[in-house]
Amino acid sequence: MRPEYQKVRPLIFLHRAPSPLFDRLVAEVATARLPLFPYPVETEDPWKVLACLAPLGLAGAVLGEALPPPQDVAPGLFLEAEAREAGLVDLLLPRVGGVAGQYTEGVALERFLSAHFPGARGLWLGPLRPSLVPFLRPLAQVSVVALSFAEGDSFLARLPERARGHVALRPEEARALSLKVDLLLYAGGRLSLDVLQPFHALVALAPVEKGVWERVQVVYPPEDLLGYRVRAVLEGLGYPL
């Protein structure tokens, strides 16, 4: 049955703070004329909705911020492979026998890298996000700038052995590594201009200053990844775009 002839179902967006993800989700749903009615709900405990999804006829629940499933979660929640791998959930879907938890942010990052940078050599800059490391698989090699070798080594250990690069601790090490990579993965915080090269592509998981755009070949802002994440959410709901 075509989407426009299906019954419209509520899709709740659970958040602690306003998120650009909601606006992008609403726009995509409207453009594709999908039978979904997204609406935001501010909450500190999104897990309370688990028992309500199916009885209320909800299409699902999108979490504005990915969270680890609680230890005492109801047995009806089961995690999809990517959520188990990351230990985080940002989409809840009613299924026969319970609720499925997915991690669409990781899926979105992996698809984005597969589409734009397969086989590239990357350097992670900013706060470490171990939950996203498994989704860097499309890259041939990943190195990292870290505060300690143990921290950086633990970060890279989540990659296949072939893809584990180097850990840089000092600014001069970071600059030397930057000359050997094609791609910078920026996760926030202070960004040293010394690591930016004219041949770099920069994927921004957090907003970057305008001056950065002038120092590299191309910048992919967070909005680009947001589009991939919305599509991953809609695919999980049964509406691949």
95 belongs to a structural domain: yes
Structure token pair of residue 185: 């993965």
Q: Look up the domain containing 120 and give its range.
A: 107-221
Rounded to whole angstroms, the Cα distance separating 173 from 175 reads 5
169 belongs to a structural domain: yes
User: What is the β-pairing status of strands 89-95 and 60-67?
Assistant: antiparallel
Of 75, 102, 129, the residue that ends a domain is 102
Is the pLDDT at 210 greater than 90, yes or no?
no
pLDDT-derived band of residue 27, with 50, 70 and 90 as boundaries? very high
Question: How many CB atoms lie under 10 A from the CB of residue 203?
Answer: 23
Answer yes or no: pTM beyond 0.85. yes
pLDDT-derived band of residue 5, with 50, 70 and 90 as boundaries? low
Average pLDDT, rounded, for the chain: 93
Give the tens place of pLDDT for each residue, 28-69. 999 999 999 999 999 888 888 888 888 889 999 999 999 998
Is the pLDDT at 153 greater than 70, yes or no?
yes
Same domain, 86 and 118: no
Least-confidence region, from 5-19, 67-81, 96-110: 67-81
